[in-house]
Amino acid sequence: SQKIEQNSEALNIQEGKTATLTCNYTNYSPAYLQWYRQDPGRGPVFLLLIRENEKEKRKERLKVTFDTTLKQSLFHITASQPADSATYLCARSLTGTASKLTFGTGTRLQVTL
């Protein structure tokens, strides 16, 4: 069966450092990998999407990489701020079933002063 795993349940870093979150998948290569931010009691908010033929995507302080050899996506937040504290979810869809989105369980990021 297809699995998507976010290995770290929680990550604590200091303000100003780069946060790196990991998303691993098994079996087939996803067609798309997406990253979302979720604050307590609220719906997820879309951040970035990367396609299987792309290596890297950037948006302001955010960067996503996609390594099909390692079956892994990394999500980076540079110059992290306390306001970046939230749970970050990765999600994948497979080629041919792009409307079926499977989410990881999320990594809770805490940025401290």
Partner 1 sequence: EAQVTQNPRYLITVTGKKLTVTCSQNMNHEYMSWYRQDPGLGLRQIYYSMNVEVTDKGDVPEGYKVSRKEKRNFPLILESPSPNQTSLYFCASSPSGTGGEQYFGPGTRLTVT
| Both structure tokens of 72 | 């892994």
Among 10, 45, 70, 79, binds partner 1 (CB under 8 A): 45
Give residues with Cβ within 8 angstroms of 27, minimum separation 6. 1, 2, 3
CA distance 76 to 57: 10
Q: Show contacts with partner 1 in window 49-108 (CB under 8 A).
A: 49, 89, 91, 93, 98-106
22 part of the interface to partner 1, by CB under 8 A: no
44 part of the interface to partner 1, by CB under 8 A: yes
Cα separation of the two ends of the chain: 41
Least Å distance, CB 65 to partner 1, is 18
Binding site for partner 1 (CB under 8 A): 31-32, 34, 41-46, 49, 89, 91, 93, 98-106
